[in-house]
Each structure stands twice: as C-alpha cells, then as structure tokens.
Amino acid sequence: MVSWLLIAIVLAAKRMILSKYDIKQKDNLRARKLHTQLNVLKNIIVTIIVILGVGIALMTFDQVKQLGTSILASAGVAGIIIGFAAQKSIATVLAGFQIAMTQPIRIDDVVIVENEWGRIEEITLTYVVVLIWDQRRLIIPITYFIEKPFQNWTRENSMIWGTVFIYTDYTMPVQALREELTRLVKGTDLWDGKINVLQVTNATESAMEIRALVSAVDSPTAWDLRVYLREKLIEFIQKEYPESLPKSRVIIKQSDLTNSATGANNKSQVT
C-alpha cells in the first residue's frame, strides 16, 4: 500500500512540474530537457520502489525469511553467476541514467538513426521510441545512443535549415531566381526570417545545380517550407524562363550538313 502511495506521489510530482513547461512551444529546449530528465528519473524511482516494496512484503513471511537466509549462506557462486547475467541489464539502466544527465537526446529531438529520420517520442529505461516521418516507430535499445554515432538536428535549438535543389540550363539568370526566392519566403509564415540564400553549388556539362538554403523554427515547418519553395520555384521557371529548363544539346557542324545533303542528292540521282 505504501509503495503504491509513493508511486502516486512521484507521478503527481512529475505531472505538476511538467505542467509548467510546454513542449509544444517553439523555443522548447528547456522544456524538452526537463521532460527527458524527469521521464527517466521517474522510471528509475518507480522501479526501485516496486523492487523494495515486493522485497519488504515477501520478508513478512517466515518461509521467505528462511529461504533468504539459506540463499545468503550459499550466495558465493550463485552471486557470481547472477552478476554476469545481470551485466547487460545493469548497463542498460546506467545508460538510461547517463542519457538523463548528459542528454545526447531529449524528448521531441529530431534525429537520424539507422538512416531513418524521425523524432524522439519516448525514452524508457531500456529502449527509445523514434517516431519516423511516415508514422512508423523505430524501437532502439537505449545503449545504442551511448555506444554508436547518430545525428541530432536539434541538440542546441529547434531551428532547422532546409535545402532545395533546382537544376536549370545555363541560360537561367541566377539573380532573377534569387529575387524570386526572397519574394516567396517573405510571403509565407513558414519562414522564420533568418536564413535565405541561393547559390550555384555545382555545374555539369548539361545543367547548373542551384541550392536554396532557408531556415524554419522546427523540422516539420522546414519540410513544409522546402516543399513549398520547390514547387513555386519550378513554377516560376516554367512561366518566366521556359527556355532555361534543363535540356540536352546536339551540335551539328556545317560539314556534317554538307555531307548529309550530298548523300541525299546521290541517293536521289541513283533512284
């Protein structure tokens, strides 16, 4: 009974503290940090309370006391075996505690794990749930985030830079496209008003690679902004500079035309 009361107090305290920190606000770094720490610490405290509660309850029975005494008397080899068996579990719990303190990931962080883009949805003592962009959920052992490299796009803040690549012919006036990009971002609420850059980042034998770099308050907004700009920039080129769409060129020399004409005349004479 006391154990359940203690657990209820822990859960109530967690809810009361987190109610003051809205994770859905734009600048939510502090809120995400606190949510992550309290979730992991809550899991650890509840686990300890349950183990102690069950242990104390069992020790009220005489049979269990006698069993405990006999186990302690012969705990040498058994303790070593159990220690080896529990190594992985202990390492997992320690990894969860380490993540709560050092916070390489937080609740609602945008990460790339195993080549999958998603958000940290849940952090438990043993695993992390990553919500993938297409609503799939990737379950990752919590030790993964201590032992292996991964990308965290919102480690310091939630602002995300988005890129849009456009491929055009060399006849495309870059400055006109740059001005159109500026007009587009200023006309949408998706842009946070900070980053707006358009540059030619590559050139091949047939086309220019033009990159638009913009910023947004968070990852979902950045995705919507990228899609919007890609559609509008393509539409702008189609309407204003259709001749600058990517094309393949074939160069025909005058000598080739002469030879072709001569060959055609010879054929007509033979017939």
Strands 116-123 and 110-113: antiparallel
- pLDDT at residue 134, as a whole number: 83
CA dihedral of residues 144, 150, 151, 152 (deg, nearest 10): 20
What is d(CA 102, CA 80) in angstroms, rounded to the nearest whole number? 31
> What is the structure's pLDDT at 261?
53
What pLDDT is stored for residue 227 in this prediction? Answer: 95
Give the pLDDT of residue 109. 85
Question: Taking the mean position of all CA atoms in its chain, how far away is CA 227?
Answer: 18
- pLDDT at position 263 is 55
Q: How many CB atoms lie within 10 A of CB 122?
A: 13
Domains plus CATH for the chain? 1-157 (no CATH), 160-244 (3.30.70.100)
Q: Which of 104-108, 128-132, 256-260 has the highest mean pLDDT?
A: 128-132
Q: Which of 38-52, 74-88, 100-114, 255-269 ranks highest by mean pLDDT?
A: 100-114
Q: What is the pLDDT of residues 201-260, one digit of tens each?
A: 999 888 999 999 999 988 788 889 999 999 999 999 999 999 998 887 676 666 655 665
pLDDT digits (tens, 9 = 90+) for 114-125: 988 888 888 887
- Alpha-carbon distance of 245 to 168, in angstroms, equals 5
State pTM to two decimals: 0.55
Question: What's the chain's average pLDDT?
Answer: 80
Enter the tokens of residue 112. 């790339």
Residue 8 above 80 pLDDT? yes
| CB contact at 8 A, 161 and 195 | yes
